[in-house]
Every structure is written in C-alpha cells, then in structure tokens.
A and B are shown apart, each in its own frame.
Chain A
Amino acid sequence: KAGVTQTPRYLIKTRGQQVTLSCSPISGHRSVSWYQQTPGQGLQFLFEYFSETQRNKGNFPGRFSGRQFSNSRSEMNVSTLELGDSALYLCASSLELGTRGMNTEAFFGQGTRLTVV
C-alpha cells in the first residue's frame, strides 16, 4: 500500500511569491492534516481537513490556506512568502476523524522542504 505522497520534495521561492504544495493521502484515508516544522518553533499544526471540509485551523496568518478534493488529496497554499516561511511542511493522513472513542494514528509523508530567499 502506497504511503502519503507529498510533492514537490524541495522548493526554492523568492519573497513575495506564492507556493502550492500537494499531498496525496494513503488510499482510503479521508483525514488530512498539515504541519510546519522549523528548528525554532518545532512542529506546529496548520490545518486539518476531512471530507473536503476544514475541521480545524492552527494559529497561522491568513496567507496560509488549504483545501481538500473529493478524492481526499489536499493542497496547501502560501501567498506573499516571507523568509520565515522557510520550513519543512508535513502532511499526515488518517483513516477516520479521531473521536473520543477512537485513537487513530496519523501517517506522515516525506515532507516538502520550502526555502524562501
């Protein structure tokens, strides 16, 4: 079974540009979450989608947005890039949306390394 696929793996952009990152979850998984990883802030939650609906959003500016398609694939977009947006962006997929009665683990992709110059 194929894992979570993120494209591209590496990206270099200039300040002020915008970028779109893609994530294909494990087949059958309907929940997709995005995280930003930086040396200074660690792993921070961006947003979460389930069945094409954003269920949860982290504390990031409106320049960060995302969406999920009917096949569960997800994209995240960052507009007006800043130097501080340089990070590893990780996508995670889960079979279902975790509830009080379920302890669903998340499976992560390899990440997209974004460098803003």
Chain B
Amino acid sequence: AQSVAQPEDQVNVAEGNPLTVKCTYSVSGNPYLFWYVQYPNRGLQFLLKYITGDNLVKGSYGFEAEFNKSQTSFHLKKPSALVSDSALYFCAVRDWNYGGATNKLIFGTGTLLAVQP
C-alpha cells in the first residue's frame, strides 16, 4: 500500500536560515509525490510535485524538493526561510489503484513549520 511519513510534528527555524521539512515514502510502482501547504482556516495550496527523472524539483514561493530514490525520501527545502512561510506542510502520494486511474491522495500527518523573526 502507498504511504508517506513525516517524522517531525514541528520544525523551528530562524528567518533567513535554510529550512527542510522531511518526507519519506513507500510505494508500489512509480512514486507520484506532492507537497501542499495549509495556512490557518484555509484549504491546501499546491507547492510542487515530483517529476520522474528530476531529483530536484522547483515549486512555488521559492520552495524546492529533493527526491532520493535510495533513501525513499522527498524532502521539502527552501534556501532562506521567511516568517510568512510559517504554516502546516503536507507530503502526499497518489494512491495505486490496480483497477484503474485515480487522483486519490494519501497524506502524511503534516509538519508545522514555525519561522522565528
């Protein structure tokens, strides 16, 4: 079964420092991986997705993600954190439906990013 894990409930970083939010995955077949961000009382905003063959994927708002097949990881990164980046971040993987196509996503538990000024 497809799954993702986010080992950290919270990540604290000072403004201007680089940030990393961790995600590991377990999949059958090709990994279709995504990162989303959620601000308080809002829906999820799409940040980026893994593209087969690209080990470094660039996304919105200066975020990027590093795909590592041997470590089955898809960590979210940003070179310089902003206070406005403080939010809840979710890693997700598309489910594998042998019976047909699906857009069903399986989400990690989320990581709260707190950027201190």
Contact = CB atoms under 8 A, between A and B. Distances in A.
Interface of A: 4, 6, 31, 33, 35, 42-43, 45, 48, 55-56, 58, 90, 92, 94, 97-100, 103-111, 113
Interface string B76-117: 000000000000001000110100111111111110000000
B104 A56 contact: yes
Interface of B: 29-30, 32, 34, 36, 41-46, 49-52, 90, 94-95, 97, 100-110
* Secondary structure call for the B interface: loop
A113 B104 contact: no
A103 B104 CA distance: 12
B103 A94 contact: yes
Top 6 closest pairs, chain A to chain B, by CB: A108-B43, A43-B107, A108-B44, A99-B101, A97-B101, A110-B43
Given A98-B32, A100-B30, A106 B43 contact: no
B102 A97 contact: yes
B44 to A, nearest CB: 4
